[in-house]
Amino acid sequence: MFQKVLAGFGAGAAKVDAQILDRATRPGGLLRGEVHLLGGSVDQQVDALGVALLARVDTPDGPRDLPVQQVHLAGSELVRAGARVTVPFEVRLPWETPITSVLGKHLTGMAVGLQTTLDLSGSVVDAQDVDAVAVEPLPAQHRVLDALSRLGYTFRGANLERDRVDGLDQQLPFFQEITFDAPGPSGLTSLTVTFLAGPQEVQVVLDAVKQVRVAKGGGLGGRSRSFLGTFPVREVNAPWERQLEGWLRQVAAPRGIFD
């Protein structure tokens, strides 16, 4: 009886550990793995077993881990003492899942991981540790990033913002910002790229920042101005890089005394 009481407070309770089988995945793709469930010192009832894909998002109240996708694996199952059970799982990633790495290189500032949860009847069980997940870009996203690299833009960092992009269809309550330092001769200071991907196309949102030569309130320089642009990528092999380069060149060109 004393063992059952301890199990009710988590001592000697069943434990879980998730193993991710895919080294990397992509938005819209599958993340496969296994959850290994080890029975505790007494038989226990499992109310729920699941996995959740979480992302670290910047919010007005500070960084928070928000769910990207959740999968229920089991419930109302009796786990015998000392039993070892393996539960395979597949998580379908939303198309807007943020990118965390490019060609195996981690994007600074990104934190996306898989968390395993186990609810035992009458037990206090904390959520398990989060295992990092590598999300590589879609072919269209990779071409955009590669094109910027060839134009001399250098990666600065990435983050997730809890907000919506005006005028575009968005499924998740947050979006990713990938920021680059602009090359010296470009006329710009920085460029931020946001991808809103879907099964048919990828919407590319650009936020270019340039230095203002003369401020409207007086004075020279010291201020910057932001320019927004969007374009869809439907055909990965289409020559849309010229559209991207042309937009950046147009934004960088002087337009008047206050620009």
Q: Which two tokens stand for residue 154?
A: 């250098």
For the segment 107-126, what is each residue's pLDDT rounded down to a tens digit?
Answer: 999 999 999 988 887 554 55
**H or E element: which one contains 31?**
strand 30-38
Q: Which two tokens stand for residue 235?
A: 């055909």
- Look at 86-95, 109-118, 160-169, 212-221 and tell me which has the smallest mean pLDDT: 212-221
Domains along the sequence of the chain with CATH = 13-132 (2.60.40.640), 139-252 (no CATH)
Using pLDDT thresholds of 50, 70 and 90, give the confidence band for residue 7.
very low
Give SS3 for 248: helix
Compute CA distances 190 → 91, 155, 224, 258, whole Å: 35, 10, 10, 19
Distance in angstroms (rounded) separating the CA atoms of residues 21 and 31: 8
One DSSP character per residue, 44-107 reads EEEEEEEEEEEEEEEETTEEEEEEEEEEEEE-SEEE-TT-EEEEEEEEE--TTPPP-EETTEEP
Give the per-residue pLDDT at 10.
47
Quote the radius of gyration of the chain (alpha carbons, Å): 24
N- to C-terminal Cα separation, the chain:
78
Q: Which two tokens stand for residue 81?
A: 């003492």
For the segment 197-235, what is each residue's pLDDT rounded down to a tens digit?
Answer: 999 999 999 999 998 765 555 555 557 889 999 999 988
Say if residues 202 and 138 touch (Cβ distance below 8 Å): yes
Say if residues 202 and 232 touch (Cβ distance below 8 Å): yes
Number of Cβ within a 10 Å radius of residue 221: 10
Residues in the chain: 259
1 CB-near residues (< 8 Å, 6+ apart): none
